[in-house]
Structures are given as C-alpha cells and as structure tokens.
Amino acid sequence: MKILITGVSKGLGRALADTYMADGHQVIGCGRDPEQILDLRFGCDEAHRFDIVDVSQANKVNVWYETVDASHGTPDLIINNAALMNAPANLWEIPTKDFEQLVNVNVTGVFNVIRAFVPDMVKRGTGVIVNLSSGWGRGVSPQVAPYCASKFAIEGLSKAMAEELPDPMACVPLNPGVIATAMLKRAWGDDAERYPDPTEWAKTAAPYILQLGRKDNGQSVSVPGA
C-alpha cells in the first residue's frame, strides 16, 4: 500500500512511518525538522520518500504534491497527523501568534493536504483519508482550548467530507488515544510518562488504521485501547 503521512519527524508520525516501512508498505512523508527528515531519507531505500514541508503553507504543499505525483503517483491512504499543542494556559492568556500558528497547522494544514492530494484519489475512485483527531476533539479540558478547538474542527471537517466522497472512498476522524509524545508532555509534564510510547502504540495503531474503510466513513473512531 502507498501511504502518505504528515508530521513524520517525530512522535506518532515517525512511529507509523517506521512500522509501515518495516511491514513492506511504501511510505511518503513530510515534516518540518530537517535533521529528522534527512535521517529518514538516508535510512530507507528509494521506494519511500520524505520531504521537508510546512503543511500550513499551501504553496509548499502544492509543490510537494507535484513532485510526489511525478515520482510516486497517487497515495492509497493519507494520514493527516501533523499538529501542534499549545502551552497550557487560559484561553485569554494565549498569545494571538501561538493560536494562529496552531490553527494553521492543525486545521489549515489538513485542508491544504486534502486540497492537493485528494482530487486524484477521487478521480481514481479509491482511497482513505484518516485525519487524526483527539479525545480533546470530543471533550474538553482547561488550558488546552486552542488544541480542543482545532480537533473539534477536524471532527466536523472529516464528517462533512465523508458525505462528499464517492463510494468506496472514506474519510475518518481518528482519536489516537493518550500516548507519551513530546506534545503530551508539553500539556501534562511528567504525568505523560505513564502512557505508552509511540513505538508501542504503533503496534496496535498501524494495523488498525489499515483496516479503516467505507464502513467507517464519517465515524468518530479510536485506536483500540484508547
């Protein structure tokens, strides 16, 4: 399977990329950390592709699409994983710049990738788009209002898009669960260490994502055990 993943520099995206490559799938990924992207690029064969891309910038995503389309063609599965977490604070204390940056990555970034890559999938008539949501996209906690807002947006965006896709395509908002990523540590500090790390999480999450399809179209789903 040809799998496109955003936010592969670290965390869940990196764990999924490593797992899928090890299982024989072709992985195309992007991230913003040059060192980590180069590490991925030089650590795999040319069947895979990893690029430095800021998904919040439509022009850069469009250029990425053009180069990926030329080298690898249309993906079978898109996993929109790239996201930011705000530093914990009351909403009225969040700097405007931080709020805008979070929304630009977490929401606009998902739109930019969909707008670039999904038309070819629709033209072909097959493909699955998985947009990573959160428990904070279905419920809330204090001091993470910007992140909650962005993930509630992902839920709505995904469910509406699901009604637009032709059968047998699917768009699914996925709650990955609670994982000990750098993002979670920013919100919870040392308490994040009580949860599975991304590599352990991917053992369950990676095969679960692969079985998502039309039966799950527009459904709010969660990785088992989340």
DSSP string across 125-154:
T--EEEEE--GGGTS--TT-HHHHHHHHHH
Task: Give the residue numbers annotated as catalytic, written as ranges.
Answer: 147
Return all residues near 220 (Cβ < 8 A) that are at least 6 apart.
Answer: 133, 138, 155, 159, 173, 175
What domain range is 56 assigned to? 2-222
Q: Are 38 and 4 in contact (CB under 8 A)?
A: no
* CA geometry: angle 196, 202, 203, nearest 5 deg: 95
The length of the chain in residues reads 226
Q: What is the CATH number of the domain that holds 128?
A: 3.40.50.720
**Residue 195's pLDDT is what?**
72
pLDDT tens string for the chain (226 positions)? 999 999 999 999 999 999 999 999 999 999 999 999 999 999 999 999 999 999 999 999 999 999 999 999 999 999 999 999 999 999 999 999 999 999 999 999 999 999 999 999 999 999 999 999 999 999 999 999 999 999 999 999 999 999 999 999 999 999 999 887 766 666 666 666 677 789 999 999 999 999 999 999 999 999 998 7
Number of domains in the chain: 1
pTM of the predicted model, to two decimals? 0.95
Give yes or no for a contact between 174 and 218, defined as CB atoms under 8 angstroms apart.
no
State the pLDDT at residue 118.
98
Cα–Cα distance for residue pair 59/53, rounded to 1 Å: 10
Q: Which residue matches tokens 């891309």?
A: 53
